[in-house]
Structure 1
Amino acid sequence: MNASPDTPAPGSFAREYDLPRVPLPTLEESCARFLDWCAPLLTPEELAATQAETAAFQQPGGPGRALHAALARYDATEGVHSWLDTFWPRRYLGRRDRIALNANFFFLFQDASPAQSQTGRAAGLLAAALDYKQRLDRELLPPPTVRGRQQTMVQNRFLFSTTRIPGALQDTVRAPYSDAHPGPSAARHIVVFHRGGMYRMDVLGPDGVPHSLDDLEAALRAVLKAGAEAPSGPQYPVGHLTTMARAQWAAAREELLACDSADAANAAALEDVESALLCLCLEDATPADTKDACDRLLYGDGGNRWFDKALSLIVFPDGRAGINVEHCELDGTTILALTDALLETPAAELSRRSGARSQGLPALEPITFVLTDSLRAHVRTAAEEFAQYGADTATRALSFEDFGSGTAKALGVSPDAFVQAAYQLAHLRAKGHLGATYESIATRQYRHGRTEAMRVVTPEMCEFTAAMEDPDASADTRRAAFRAAAAAHVARAKECQAGRAPEQHLWELELIQGRRGTELGVSEQPALYRTPGWLTMRDDYLSTSSAPSVNIQYFGFGATSTCCIGVAYVLLPDRFNVYLSTPRTVAAEMDTFAARLGEALVELRTLLEGPQD
């Protein structure tokens, strides 16, 4: 899939309009699926109340009709790529809580072999990233295909020099390939963090040619030397401000700009950070173990991060490395492709392919902010509150070395269906009941496609868990229930992949009412959005997502609610790694879930391997 620099450009982005549009379901289809999806989680009384309001919502003259008609008109508007074009910015950029830990996600890369120093590993990752950017700029990266279907490349435009900008009511995104910044990023620098200090470092020469590996490593050693000479680092690392709730950070950013003067070049400092190709965070502490490495990648030291940056490569003193990703324009599948490109080919080869050459020590300058007493107070408070927020989050890193996707396939079961069934059984045994479970399903085969929201608890899944808990159920009964649940899971996943899922459609209708309700004659929020079905289905007890790549060890994100366990999993042919997160107030339940999950995997494998009648 990788093209050489001499290969004629296939047009990485030109094929986007060859892709089909995301299908817009009919109102009737989404309402029917919504009832089917929420029913297993409801009592008969709750389901009846939900059915009544859903019928009123979609009846002729009902609010759903006006809202759906408005969405259909929008979808048909010239220049609109998808009926989800306004949904995604509102979903991600409209959230007002902190994105650090709550929204950003991470990958822990496989360890380098042979082992490398911190600066050697970091320089290699930078060289690989520069090669990837060059090929992307020249449109030498052909669109990926999945099962023969071309996938969208649009998210790749947001990999480099992309920064989320906080706003009082809604955030915005600064990115290349935009009206403000046409074409690929022309930036030649990155921002290096160490001990909370920030450095602007050129990684491309004046002619756009990458610096050699030796050049890059020499500059990174200079950063570590500067940090050693100031071991305490800056007293008020400005990166802490990016851990604040969005409106608070927006106000603090305005304060930074307002105190700008000839002696306080804060605007220039922000420009350096926000236009940089990416951030590189050189950590000062070696993780105690794998879980500690994952935790540090997820939130770590907020003063040594700029969480608004699309890409932050993070390298520890022992050479372990990973990435923290701002989620608003980037999904896991895009970052997996980048990660594979960074790690599958030796850095020296990628550096040569990019045309890198020795140009002397790269330009390296400290980035400094001048802070008022008020801003120093903001930094101090943000640091304290985020440290407490991290402490209030419980996590686990699990590795099952005797189970992998190969095991499930050998048993004739979809690997994802297998582990999702295990999650449900473990959750039932840990908490005494099933709960709403979200799974992210990629829809990148569509123009500007991203993900769809799948709900895992089907009637068949309920029957399966009931059979497993019934002491009188035979092995044959349990096997049959498991296979029915697995088949239903695969069928629902295919519905989601085909754009036939109800949640985002109905959610966008709710958002349209909030934006344009009076104009459309729907002045009040429709009662459907207050029904037991809507509220229960969207109150996650498990939030799950997978990242299948041999180049990563773990993938992780924060929980989505006070009762939620975030379940990020890497399902490889020969092993299964899971990172769990939840509020510390329910850490005991997460620990029980982890124990029951290990038991469920063994139990289900034994069941399927047993004698078949």
Structure 2
Amino acid sequence: MSDRTFAAEDQLPRVPLPTLEDSAERFLQWCAPLLNDDELATTRAAVDDLLRADSPARTLHAELREYDATPGVGSWLDRFWPSRYLGRRDRIALNANFFFLFRDDTVLATSTGATQVERAAAIVSAAVDYKLALDEESIPPVTQRGQQLSMWQNKYLFSETRIPGEVQDSVRVPYSDDSPGPSTARHIAVLFRGNIFRMDVIGPEGAPYALEDLIDGLRAVREAGATRTEAGVGHLTTKARAEWAASRAALRAVPANVDALDTLETALFCLCLEDLTPTDTLHACDQLLHGDSANRWFDKSVSFLVFEDGRAGINIEHCGLDGTTILSFVDTLLETSVADHAAHSGAQKQGTPPIAPIEFVLDDALRADIAAAGADFAQYAADNATTTVSFENFGTARAKQLKISPDAFAQLSYQLAHRRSKGITGATYESIATRQYRNGRTEAMRVVTPEIIAFVDAVENPALDTAAKLEAARAAATAHVERARQCQSGDAPEQHLWELQWIQRRRGEELGVTEPIALYDSPGWVVMRDDYLSTSSAPSVNIEYFGFGSTSPTCIGIAYVLLPDRWNLYLATPQTVADQMHAFAGHLRTAVADLEALLN
């Protein structure tokens, strides 16, 4: 196996394309536990209609099969991901972007000073080292159980910017037809008090600036941006996408603003210097998720944030980057000292790097637009309720002692807590990584199985003895592991059926498929995808918390860091149902204790 970053991509196995019959059968199995008899009968009839010999779904599936066999296409999902992520029309700020809060005791953090500019400069130095290594393809491919994983997402780490569109967004990115090969940019965008600055991080001869130089440059940024701007253009990136597209067009009507946007969009990444110290960990997490939107550019693929006290984290635009890619990126940055990063990258002392304000020419209409966007998003963020839950004495090591899959333990606990807090079992999403495939990203797993419902019923039934409850827990854990294995193997129905729906939207008229397909209005499709819990994990010893917003008006977003010795969760939900989230958090603590006692 080659150690070159992208060498294995063409040799990786392709994502299997399920048959229409297999996806339909699994879909029925997956949605059935959430439906009553009448709903299931209606859904079964829709599936039968989908599978009839002359069904329009067969035309759509044939088109997908033909696309999958097209030379140069890496995966049948290659058009799905842009449709899914770039096609969404709501905000990406808080709704789609996700964050990691770094630990304070990483090798990188402890190898330099603790002030804001020292920590920020260390992160910049480490990121530039990674960027130059990526350019040379000397970042070894990530492996899992000896198998190399897809690394194509790493091409989206630097100089990638999402561009708002009226109908669908686009992406400005290197390694593309418009910009072949790695990014040639030598600068980053630094934001402080809503002011935006260009700062070079790679010198004229190609050598990165030394740590001391970067510190001096960031001090100069803080001094130049000491007065908070009243027109933080970053507010506009919080708008719904079509609205932001209209605002961007108004900005670009002024030539100077075209240059300003070009500087921002080609920057390697954003560095947001915050002029506050978080009051506690939850406050730090909330600031990383949304914070001061004047001091953000949410369309940038990577934004590092550093607070006044030196605490730090990262905010990620999701269209080209998943959590597993960011974890390996962040681990590489944080597990090495700043001196070793500098030595590896060939950083040289070159004096204070050039900095310059990125300035926009704004008329009264644009200023009003910016102010309204900022006020609207501030209210939107205030309408988002969050909390953290931490288990300092439970982690994967304890789960393995109890002879249960750690993730199964987590998901069983979530279901038990949800039933106790709301009295119902609701649709639950879990992200499953599939990077072992070419262009692999994630698969959508639906957690609720008949065995999980039987487990919760059993635990909540005082008439059952411990042996019966234990048997139900073991059966639910086994079913969970098996479904996760199916997802990892590409044997999952949702994204396949969803892509058929996208094909109809994109090309239905051309293919002669214009009539509504009953499946997509069936109770099974609607109920299975209406998340009550949306869950994802980020296992890294360098991460304290991971977080994202909820996905529906009744949803609790559950981002969890499950490690051998601890288990930290960040929960988010709309303020209108905040009491349900707090009840869930309380019941989760007792659910974990009860399940641990049962398995013990």
Common fold: TM-score over 0.5: yes
- The residue that corresponds to 1:427 in the other structure is 418
How far apart in 2 are the matches of 1:557 and 1:63?
37
Query: Residue 354 of structure 2: which of 354, 363, 367 is its match?
Result: 363
What corresponds to 2:384 in structure 1? 393
Q: TM-score, normalised by structure 1?
A: 0.96
For 2:155, the equivalent position in structure 1 comes to 157
The answer as to 2:237 corresponding to 1:242 is: yes
Residue 521 of structure 1: CA displacement?
2.9
The 5 Å alignment of 1:458-477 reads 458-477=449-468
Matches of 1:92 and 1:425 in 2, distance apart? 31
What secondary structure is seen at the aligned counterpart in 1 of 2:67?
helix
Any idea what SS the aligned residue of 1:219 has?
Answer: helix
- SS of residue paired to 2:544: strand
Cα displacement (A) at 1:511: 1.0
Displacement of 1:394 after TM fit? 0.1
Q: Secondary structure at the match of 1:523?
A: coil
Counterpart Cα distance in 1 of 2:205 and 2:282: 42
Alignment of 1:587-606 (within 5 A): 587-606=578-597
Deviations 1:494-527 (A, max 9, x none): 0000000000000001111112223323211201
- 2:549 aligned with 1:551: no
- Of 210, 217, 224, 1:226 maps to 224
Q: Distance between the aligned counterparts of 1:207 and 1:492, measured in 2?
A: 53
What is the 5 A alignment of 1:515-526?
515-526=506-517
Q: Is 1:90 aligned to residue 83 of structure 2?
A: yes
- Give ranges in structure 1 of 5+ residues lacking alignment: 2-8
Report the secondary structure of 1:173's partner residue: strand
Paired residues of 1:259 and 1:372 also in contact (CA < 8 A) = no
**Aligned counterpart in structure 1 of residue 146 of structure 2, from 145, 148, 153:** 148
Q: Which residue does the alignment assign to 2:94?
A: 101
Which of 197, 203, 208 is the aligned partner of 2:195?
197
Please give the secondary structure, in 1, of the residue aligned with 2:445.
strand
The alignment's C-alpha RMSD in Å is 1.0
Deviations 1:531-576 (A, max 9, x none): 0000000000000000000000000000000010000000011110
| Residue-pair matches, total | 595
Residue 65 (structure 1) aligned with residue 58 (structure 2): yes
Residue 380 (structure 1) aligned with residue 375 (structure 2): no
Q: Residue 21 of structure 2 aligns with which residue?
A: 28
Distance in 2 between residues matched to 1:126 and 1:429, nearest whole Å = 46
1:488 aligns with 2:460: no
Select which of 117, 120, 125 maps to 1:119: 117
Alignment equivalent of 2:531, drawn from 514, 528, 540: 540
- Counterparts of residues 323-338 of structure 1 (less than 5 Å): 323-338=314-329
Match of 1:81 among 74, 80, 84: 74
Aligned to 1:53: 46
Which one-letter code corresponds to 1:119 in the other structure?
Answer: V
The Cα of 1:143 is off from its aligned counterpart by 1.1
Corresponding residue of 1:185:
183
CA distance in 2, matches of 1:208, 1:246: 36
Q: Is the 8 A contact 1:514 1:525 kept in 2?
A: no
Q: Deviations over 1:272-311 (max 9, x none)?
A: 1000000000000111100000000000000000000000
Partners in 2 of 1:93 and 1:516 — Cα distance? 17
Unaligned runs of 5+ in 2: none
Counterparts of 1:166 and 1:208 in 2: how far apart (Å)? 32
The aligned residue for residue 40 of structure 1 is 33
3-state SS of 1:445 partner:
coil
Contact preservation (8 Å) 1:124, 1:348: no
Return the offset for 1:10. Answer: 3.3
502, 506, 517: which one aligns with 1:511: 502
Distance 1:506 1:560 in 2: 20
Give % identity: 62
> SS at 1:434's partner residue?
coil
What is the TM-score when the length of structure 2 is the normalising length?
Answer: 0.98
Aligned residue type for 1:71: L
Q: Which residue is equivalent to 2:251?
A: 256
Structure 2 counterpart of 1:186, which letter?
T
Equivalent residue number for residue 4 of structure 1: none
Are residue 275 (structure 1) and residue 266 (structure 2) matched? yes
CA distance in 1, matches of 2:95, 2:555: 12
Deviation of 1:352 after TM superposition, in Å, equals 1.4
Q: Which SS does the other structure have where 2:336 is aligned?
A: coil
- Distance (Å, rounded) in 2 between the aligned partners of 1:601 and 1:424: 11
Residue type matched to 2:215 in 1?
E
Match of 1:359, SS? coil
Distance 1:141 1:235 in 2: 42
Match of 2:555 in 1: 564
2:104 is paired with a residue whose SS is coil
